[in-house]
Amino acid sequence: MNNGFDPFDHASLIVAHDEGNAFDAVVPPIVQTSLFTFKDYDDMVATYKGERVRPIYTRGLNPTVRMFEEMLAKLEGAEDAIGFASGMAAISSTVMSFVEPGDRIVAVNHVYPDAFRLFGTHLKRMKVEVTYVDGRDEEAVARALPGAKLFYMESPTSWVMDTHDVAALAKLAKQQGILTAIDNSWASPIFQQPISLGVDLVIHSASKYLGGHSDVVAGVVAGSKDLIGRIRSEAYPYLGGKLSPFDAWLLIRGLRTLPIRMKAHERSALTVAQRLQAHPLVETVCHPGLGNTLPPGLSGTSGLFSFIFRDGVDVRRFADHLDLFKLGVSWGGHESLIVPGEVVLSQKAQPNSAAAFGISPRSVRLHVGLEGTEALWSDLEAAMSAASSG
Ligand SMILES: *Cc1c(COP(=O)(O)O)cnc(C)c1O
């Protein structure tokens, strides 16, 4: 699988020695510049004509950004990758590179809410129709696919964490000649490598695990040279959602510890999920690692999951009694975080749909960070006992 690349072989993540470029610095430099100058007229003409590839302007090509793209492509087992200013820029630029008015996209249920909103607003205005299907139901997917241009996947899905047999779904789409894309932010390339499962394009919100330190908003798409080339030449320069050199540098730093961070998130979150499942106040835990075996395609689980309290638990008291777990969106960094479902459902953004997102008002989404399992569990236990004794 994946050209023999082992994501737990940390040496693979060390940036190659680059003599003469950065004073032999062990950390690659941030090429923090908007433009690059030319030696003379002929040099400029040759570059404009495409006779040589070199940076002209950072919206097009920047060495620090390129270094991140190459590292990520390698991690995903892809030929190429392209960095964006946010995960949403990666999603919108990818989708808009491949659809035209009159096209139809099939998407799985419970995709990331802002992707759902992009599909229901801008794409709708562009006369691109998006139909949703339960990705767990392969027959339903097979029925929905014919005639579609793009199959948009996410597994596990946002909030409810439905998992799909990604290889089987990608095969169904391939049989119909339909392009496939997947949001792989949750698993990261450490625990799921969709290219090896037959998916064409792999999208990340790099703001989450790839960055890993809650200090960058960024996105990236990996895939074949052809498909990434199309995004690079069509949507990327004109929609302009470019990853910045400094953010790329933070991502390069983040990637170096990605394997060990993911292992630590996995261990802590699984322990917390198992204990929640056994807790009398908890009705259901939505975590893909609680079965006897992992869902197909996943080789591990990350730190994000949700659970649903039994009736009568005071979610507000629970939230306000937490000390280590902070109330906050996003995830993937050191910090443990919660988002109560009823808060998301009260959000002003449109369209806002409990049914589309699968969010129960008694649910809580947890990101289990790196603070230490026992301290985090004590925090949750104390808050739960406060929430039930009200
Ligand atoms: C956060 C997130 C996104 C959007 O990424 P941004 O970097 O915030 O634009 C997309 N998909 C998933 C699953 C996410 O969690």
Residue 343 counted as domain residue:
yes
Whether residue 167 is found in the same domain as residue 202: yes
Residue 2 counted as domain residue:
no
Query: Pick the residue with more confidence: 6 or 69?
Result: 69
Q: Check residue 24 and give its pLDDT.
A: 80
Q: Check residue 19 and give its pLDDT.
A: 57
In tens, the pLDDT along 295-351 reads: 999 999 999 999 999 999 999 999 999 999 999 999 999 999 999 999 988 888 777
Residue 360 to residue 223: CA distance in whole angstroms: 35
Give 25: exposed, middle or buried? Use CB within 10 Å, 0-12, 13-18, 19+. exposed
Query: Pick the residue with more confidence: 151 or 358?
Result: 151
- Choose the residue to mutate in 93, 114, 365 for probing ligand 1, maximizing ligand atoms within 8 Å of C-beta: 114
Whether residue 232 is found in the same domain as residue 268: no
How is 301-363 classified by DSSP, letter by letter? Answer: --SEEEEEEPTT--HHHHHHH-SSSEE-S---SSS-EEEEHHHHHT---SS--HHHHT--TTE
Residue 332 counted as domain residue:
yes
- The answer to whether residue 8 scores a pLDDT higher than 70 is no
Whether residue 78 is found in the same domain as residue 136: yes
Atom number in ligand 1 closest to CA 206: 7
CA of 81 relative to ligand 1 center, distance in Å: 17
Four-residue CA torsion sign, 141, 207, 319, 274: positive
Confidence of residue 44 (pLDDT cuts 50, 70, 90): very high
CA of 40 relative to ligand 1 center, distance in Å: 43
Of 256, 284, 299, which closes a domain? 256
Four-residue CA torsion sign, 354, 361, 295, 217: positive
Of 229, 256, 283, which closes a domain? 256
In tens, the pLDDT along 263-286 reads: 999 999 999 999 999 999 999 999
CATH number for the domain that contains residue 58:
3.40.640.10
Residue 49: active-site member = no
Residue 273 counted as domain residue:
yes
Whether residue 156 is found in the same domain as residue 284: no
In tens, the pLDDT along 72-95 reads: 999 999 999 999 999 999 999 999
Residue 119 counted as domain residue:
yes
Whether residue 130 is found in the same domain as residue 179: yes
Whether residue 91 is found in the same domain as residue 205: yes
Atom number in ligand 1 closest to CA 89: 9
Residue 59: active-site member = yes
Whether residue 195 is found in the same domain as residue 157: yes
Residue 87 to residue 360: CA distance in whole angstroms: 25
In tens, the pLDDT along 103-131 reads: 999 999 999 999 999 999 999 999 999 99
Which of the residues 74, 80, 112, 149 is marked catalytic?
A: 112
Whether residue 212 is found in the same domain as residue 273: no
Question: Looking at the 3D structure of the chain, how many domains does it have?
Answer: 2
Residue 209: active-site member = no
Q: Where are the alpha helices (DSSP H) in 40-134?
A: 41-48, 63-76, 87-98, 113-120, 122-125
Whether residue 222 is found in the same domain as residue 285: no
- What's the whole-number mean pLDDT along residues 345-359? 82
Residue 156 counted as domain residue:
yes
Whether residue 264 is found in the same domain as residue 307: yes
CA of 210 relative to ligand 1 center, distance in Å: 12
Residue 208: active-site member = yes
Whether residue 273 is found in the same domain as residue 323: yes
Which of the residues 208, 232, 261, 362 is marked catalytic?
A: 208
Confirm or reject: Cβ of 87 under 6 Å from ligand 1: yes
Q: Check residue 6 and give its pLDDT.
A: 61
In tens, the pLDDT along 151-186 reads: 999 999 999 999 999 999 999 999 999 999 999 999
Residue 382 counted as domain residue:
yes
**Which residue range forms the structural domain that includes residue 59?**
7-256
- The answer to whether residue 21 scores a pLDDT higher than 70 is no
CA of 195 relative to ligand 1 center, distance in Å: 20
- The answer to whether residue 248 scores a pLDDT higher than 60 is yes
Whether residue 242 is found in the same domain as residue 369: no
Atom number in ligand 1 closest to CA 217: 7
Q: What percent of the chain has pLDDT over 70?
A: 94
Q: Mean pLDDT of all residues in the chain?
A: 93
Confidence of residue 2 (pLDDT cuts 50, 70, 90): very low
- What's the whole-number mean pLDDT along residues 353-374? 92
Q: Check residue 175 and give its pLDDT.
A: 97
Residue 1 counted as domain residue:
no
- The answer to whether residue 359 scores a pLDDT higher than 60 is yes
Of 196, 225, 256, which closes a domain? 256
CATH number for the domain that contains residue 314:
3.90.1150.10
